[in-house]
Amino acid sequence: MNSDGVAIPAAARALRAAPRVVVATGAGMSQDSGIPTFRDAARGLWARYDPEELATEAAFRRHPARVFGWYAWRRRLVHAATPHAGYHALVALEGLVPELAIVTQNVDGLHTRVGSRRVLELHGSLERFSCLDARHPFPAERAPEPAADTECEPPRCEQCGSPVRPDVVWFGEMLPERVTAEAWALAASCRAMLVVGTSGLVQPAAQLPLIAREAGATVIEVNPDPTELSDAAHIVCRGRAGAVLPALVAALTQGATQ
């Protein structure tokens, strides 16, 4: 189903009929708020580095100031960003269905900032820090926030002196165990899954829509472009998250009052 004129009402019907809804979001969710996707995030000072080479423990050990500075820059972009209407639509959706959880690959914290209540962060958060060696937590308010786009020496752990890193999942690292188990259980037991702004290229997050489909849920994709997951979707809403999600909630609200 590709026409939005048909897809949005069909998606609204599927969501209305679902006792449990999971929304799986990726970098495209934040695109309409001006936050560059992961691969676009290598701009300016960072353009000469491959992001996949900045987001590893080995890179941090070799060039701590470079990697910490890149994350500090991304964190500043997130703080300056305003969550778009699609974020608010997901908050509204929470009130329109019996149970809703958001499982996100994003580390920007925007779902929580607008008031979504059940948010599972599969890849960690730019707003949390811990030390490299022992993963002792480090208070975010003490993390340096350089005003310019520059390299930045990480602070040291107050307990063991190890350098402090962002609490995000780097390439080659395991996803957080408890959050992942919960996300997988939700995917296997939801009746509808909205898949928003993800290319479906990054594992293991890309499995979630396939698990939901296998378990009998209706899978709805919201993305302006075809993805690896499009074939697994029962309903495809071709468009931007900032436009499609409010339209979906409007259709759901109208349907509820008919």
Sites of contact with ligand APR (CB under 6 A): 26-28, 31-32, 37-39, 105, 123, 196-199, 201-202, 222-225, 227, 240-241
Contact, 110 vs 87, CB < 8 A? yes
In the complex, the smallest distance separating the C-beta of residue 55 from ligand APR, rounded to whole angstroms, is 6
Beta carbon of residue 39, minimum distance to ligand APR (angstroms, whole number): 6
Q: Give the CA distances from residue 226 to residues 200, 222, 231, in Å, rounded to whole numbers and listed in that order.
A: 10, 10, 9
**Residues comprising the chain, all counted:** 258
**Helix, strand, or coil (residue 181):** helix
Indicate which residues carry an active-site annotation: 123
CA distance linking residue 124 with residue 107, whole number of Å:
6
Sign of torsion over alpha carbons 183, 192, 195, 119: negative
Comparing CB distances to ligand APR, the nearer of 53 and 99 is: 53
**Is the Cβ–Cβ distance between 181 and 144 less than 8 Å?**
no
Residue 239 Cβ, how far from ligand APR at the closest point, in Å?
7
Q: Between β-strands 119-121 and 137-138, what pairing exists: parallel, antiparallel or unpaired?
A: unpaired
Taking CB positions, which residue lies at the least distance from ligand APR? Answer: 28
Hey, is 237 helix, strand or coil? strand
Closest separation in Å from C-beta 221 to ligand APR: 9
CB-nearer residue toward ligand APR: 217 or 245: 245
